Amino acid sequence: MKVVFERPQALSDVTTHYCPGCTHGIIHRLVAETIDELGILERTIGVASVGCSVLAYDYLECDWQQAAHGRAPAVATGIKRALPDSIVFTYQGDGDLASIGTAEIIHAANRGEAITVIYVNNTNYGMTGGQMAPTTLVGQVTTTSPRGRDTKEAGYPLRMAEMLATLKGVNYLARVAVNSPANIMKAKRAIKQAFTVQVEDGGFALVEVLSTCPTNWRLDPVEALKWLDDNMIPYYPLAEFKVSGEVK
Amino acid sequence: MKHEVIVAGFGGQGVLLLGQVLAYAGMVEGKEVSWLPSYGPEMRGGTANCTVVLSDTEIGSPVVSQPSCVIALNLPSMEKFEPMLKPGGRLIINTSLIDKKAERADIEVVEVPATEIANELGSGRVANMVALGAFVQQTKAVDFTTLEEALKKVLPQRRHELIPLNLQAIQRGAEETK
Amino acid sequence: MLGDKVLMVGNEAIGEAAIRAGCQLYFAYPITPQSELPQLLARRMPEEGRVFLQAESEVAAINIVYGAAGAGARVMTSSSSPGISLKQEGISYIAGAELPCVIVNIVRGGPGLGGIQPAQSDYFQATKGGGHGDYRLIVLAPASVQEMVDLTALAFDLADKYRNPVMVLGDGTLGQMMEPVEFGDIKAEIPSKPWATTGRKGRARNVINSLYLDPNKLEEHNWHLQAKYRRIEGAEVRYDSFNLADAQLVVVAYGISARIARTAIEMARADGIAAGLLRPITLFPFPTGAIAQAAEKAAAFLSLELSAGQMVEDVRLAVNGRRPVHFYGRTGGIIPTPQEVYEEIKKLAGEEVAK
């Protein structure tokens, strides 16, 4: 019998702690498939961040370092500088990357650090109970914006991909979503490209992945996929912003 | 034998360099030495000083409360450090820039027009070496012959062409205060 | 005889010693009064085919250190007091994940932005943890430029030996002053690090981590760390002494303060006062035993610090109430003169030793 579907070798055979309907699992799988396809498991070192993906090191079979909140790009820089032949990636949420870790991500990108960044944006701090993040949409209700995000007090949602696209050091930059099979296929291509850039010594690559958070959004998983489509994608357009260092 | 020397002047007068040449010469002669600069926010133009200790035995404090000698290249330096000199200590004054007399009677004052001599030699910048020459003449803290080796160590290679001029300045400072 | 002696400022001596000790990567952010160190290494590290990187902040620098140390490299960062405060988060993670690295603190006056003149007011921060959680750094306190060389080399070895961050605690004076140094035969013997994340080829995967969500596991990890600190206390205490054997008044001082104390003690001895010096070289582990032993014979102690009184607490713990422990210090970047310390010794000798 022909095997048409199996667990990627790089994906651990364990149950994750993620909530039902959360799309972190899909993103983990896409990264694992990419590692398998590029044959880089034995030289890949992941950097886990703080947030829901804090335990990512339990789910992918490569070496890992666990970083302090927001500091994953700095930790990745240290690993890559010490071991230039390794493949180093960070896996960070929007609170981690777009709030407390803005300095680290901007400077790692600007240096053109040869690392791959998987940036998962679900518009809130999921792990700590759904607080407002820099990416929370205008008017979106969270546990710390109970009347909806008010721009007069909390400013506007940060479009990290667009900001980082202005930096010369960035080789590849895309925003994708994992809320439909078609989008997941595109997300896979972007993630694979972001790792391929590193394998080919191309420099810094980042993929922003729009992800759902049914629990904190107070939606069922299917509604959450639709909410992402209706609310997130209009504000966070899906696109490749930079390819081979060129702005698209 | 122990020499505790404070060298002071304007930033740019070569105060720190003077101290380094002296410290290096001491080290070349096998003495224990330390060189401690003042440091502060003024990168240029402010006042600068350094403390050099030359000793036959292990140096405790590189910080000196009662120097045995003060080399003052400008007036503010003299006013600041003259009171600290230990009784019987030496005050070397650059009379080109200091028109005031020393106040204390219990010290030995050595006057040398360092800047004028340096200008005569063609570069006001070696006034520090004229003062060093006066210091070595008075104290015999190190041998004159060692200073050339010290200059080679302290000055970067690209400045080595200036060594003869520096040695000339040291010699003039010594002769002036014989 | 000149030998291989060179005259160097302390900051540069640390840099050159680190290179000879096999430091492969160095990351830092500029701050006075330690800037000569990154400036030297910006030039020297690439010459040696090694990595120098100026980070965007002290926070980034210490986390880059974490990454490189976790990848198995010999790695160093340096800063001065306010910058070291910024690094505390990363240092706690490094201690928790048991990563070896060397952190240099050329201390200046605080609190806050403070000043840029020398101080020893980061003693608590350095020796009691500094960041969150129950952890210790090994803290080495050089008192001369030569010791900055020797202790920097030792710092790398101890870091690897115990998988623990090691701090070289200097001050602005030591960083800026020049003294003759010899590098001798510093050996870069880097042990194998099978725990490092170098890619899982040929082995099970490695994870560098300080997260233990199960409190039982976290407690176990903490006792493991504590056992290591007790081992360090048993094996790595270093101190020096001067005129200690018959001292009635024992001055306890480290770093630049110890140098000033030594001169003041010479002045006191010339006056017939039986003063002596006990100079901790390791601040953690602290020479508690040596101080307790000195308390058998001495009449009183004086802790001399460029702070408002920090190490004095450890001296009191060591003396354990058997003898009076006095404190003398200057703060804010002021260095006491030997004369000033001598006066203090004379005063205490009159009060305490005469009794």
pLDDT, tens digit, 9 for 90 and up, residues B79-93: 999 999 999 999 999
Domain enclosing residue B40, as ranges:
2-176
Rounded Cα gap, residues B7 and A241, in angstroms: 61
SS3 B155: coil
Q: With beta carbons less than 8 A apart as the criterion, state whether C27 and C55 touch.
A: yes
- pLDDT (mean) for B121-141: 96
Judged by a CB distance cut-off of 8 A, whether residue A247 touches chain C is no
Q: Exposed, middle or buried, A233 (CB in 10 Å: 0-12/13-18/19+)?
A: middle
| pLDDT for the residue numbered A120 | 98
More confident residue, C348 or C187: C348
Q: With beta carbons less than 8 A apart as the criterion, state whether A112 and C53 touch.
A: no
**Which of A55, A71, A82 is opposite residue C63, by nearest beta carbon?**
A71
> What is the tens place of the pLDDT at every residue in C95-131?
999 999 999 999 999 999 999 999 999 999 999 999 9
Domain A24-247 part of CATH 3.40.140.10: no
**Vertex B15: Cα angle to B43 and B35 (nearest 5):** 95
SS3 A239: strand
Judged by a CB distance cut-off of 8 A, whether residue C335 touches chain A is no
pLDDT surpasses 50 at C1: no
**Which of A62, A67, A78 is opposite residue C71, by nearest beta carbon?**
A78
**Strand ranges across the sheet with C282-284:** C51-54, C25-28, C75-79, C101-107, C165-171, C138-140, C282-284
> What is the ipTM score, two decimals?
0.95
CATH annotation of C6-235: 3.40.50.970
**At A108, which amino acid appears?**
A
CB-CB neighbors (< 8 A) of C339 in chain B? 65-66
| pLDDT for the residue numbered B39 | 78
- Using the Cα atoms of residue C103, residue C107, residue C113 and residue C115 in order, give the sign of their dihedral: negative
Q: Which chains touch A (3 or more CB pairs under 8 A)?
A: C
Question: pLDDT band at B40, cuts 50/70/90?
Answer: low
Q: With beta carbons less than 8 A apart as the criterion, state whether C177 and B36 touch.
A: yes
pLDDT surpasses 60 at C354: no
Long-range CB contacts (< 8 A, 24+ apart) of A157-160? A157/A123, A157/A235, A157/A236, A158/A98, A158/A134, A159/A235, A159/A236, A160/A94, A160/A97, A160/A98, A160/A105, A160/A119, A160/A121, A160/A135, A160/A208
pLDDT surpasses 60 at B141: yes
CA distance, residue C206 to nearest chain A CA (Å)? 5
**Which of C6, C33, C260 is opposite residue B63, by nearest beta carbon?**
C260
| pLDDT for the residue numbered B58 | 95
CB-CB neighbors (< 8 A) of B24 in chain C? 7
CA distance, residue B41 to nearest chain C CA (Å)? 8
SS3 C104: strand
| pLDDT for the residue numbered C4 | 82
Q: With beta carbons less than 8 A apart as the criterion, state whether A46 and A240 touch.
A: no
Judged by a CB distance cut-off of 8 A, whether residue C116 touches chain B is yes
Beta pairing partners, A205: A116, A172
Judged by a CB distance cut-off of 8 A, whether residue C59 touches chain A is yes
| pLDDT for the residue numbered B38 | 87
The continuous run of DSSP H or E covering A241 comes out as strand A239-243
Q: With beta carbons less than 8 A apart as the criterion, state whether C14 and C168 touch.
A: yes
Rounded Cα gap, residues A182 and C53, in angstroms: 42
- Number of domains observed in the structure of chain B: 1
Judged by a CB distance cut-off of 8 A, whether residue A198 touches chain C is no
SS3 A230: helix
Closest chain C residue to the Cα of A100, Cα to Cα: C59
CB-CB neighbors (< 8 A) of A59 in chain C? none
pLDDT surpasses 80 at C63: yes
Judged by a CB distance cut-off of 8 A, whether residue A57 touches chain C is yes
Within chain C, all domains assigned CATH 3.40.50.970 are found at 6-235
Query: Is A61 within 8 Å of C59 when comparing Cβ atoms?
Result: no
Judged by a CB distance cut-off of 8 A, whether residue A64 touches chain C is yes
- C30 contacts: CB under 8 Å, gap ≥ 6: C38, C54
Closest chain C residue to the Cα of B28, Cα to Cα: C2
Return the beta strands (E) in C211-253 as ranges. 239-242, 249-252
The continuous run of DSSP H or E covering C332 comes out as none
Q: With beta carbons less than 8 A apart as the criterion, state whether B92 and B110 touch.
A: yes
**At C141, which amino acid appears?**
A
Mean pLDDT of chain B, nearest integer: 94
Rounded Cα gap, residues A236 and A132, in angstroms: 17
**pTM of the full predicted structure?**
0.95
More confident residue, B176 or B40: B176
A15 CB neighbour count, 10 Å cutoff: 9
Find where tokens 């952190």 sit: C103
pLDDT surpasses 80 at C7: yes
**Which of A54, A81, A104 is opposite residue C53, by nearest beta carbon?**
A81
The continuous run of DSSP H or E covering C127 comes out as helix C123-127
Q: What is the CATH number of the domain that holds B34?
A: 3.40.920.10
The stretches in chain A having pLDDT less than 70 are none
Using a threshold of 3 CB pairs under 8 A, tell whether chains B and C touch: yes
Mean pLDDT of chain C, nearest integer: 96
> What is the tens place of the pLDDT at every residue in C321-349?
999 999 999 999 999 999 999 999 999 99
| pLDDT for the residue numbered C3 | 59
> What is the tens place of the pLDDT at every residue in C226-260?
999 999 999 999 999 999 999 999 999 999 999 99
**Which of B23, B62, B65 is opposite residue C7, by nearest beta carbon?**
B23
CA distance, residue B134 to nearest chain C CA (Å)? 23
Q: What percent of chain C has pLDDT over 90?
A: 95
Q: With beta carbons less than 8 A apart as the criterion, state whether A29 and A6 touch.
A: no
CATH annotation of C239-353: 3.40.50.920
Chain center to CA of C32: 18
CB-CB neighbors (< 8 A) of C61 in chain A? 74
Return the beta strands (E) in chain B as ranges. 2-10, 32-37, 47-55, 69-72, 90-94, 108-112
- pLDDT (mean) for C208-237: 98
- Using the Cα atoms of residue A141, residue A143, residue A146 and residue A149 in order, give the sign of their dihedral: negative
> What is the tens place of the pLDDT at every residue in C292-324?
999 999 999 999 999 999 999 999 999 999 999
Rounded Cα gap, residues C78 and C84, in angstroms: 8
pLDDT surpasses 70 at B42: no
**Vertex C285: Cα angle to C282 and C291 (nearest 5):** 80
Within chain C, all domains assigned CATH 3.40.50.920 are found at 239-353
**Vertex C274: Cα angle to C272 and C275 (nearest 5):** 120
- A246 contacts: CB under 8 Å, gap ≥ 6: none
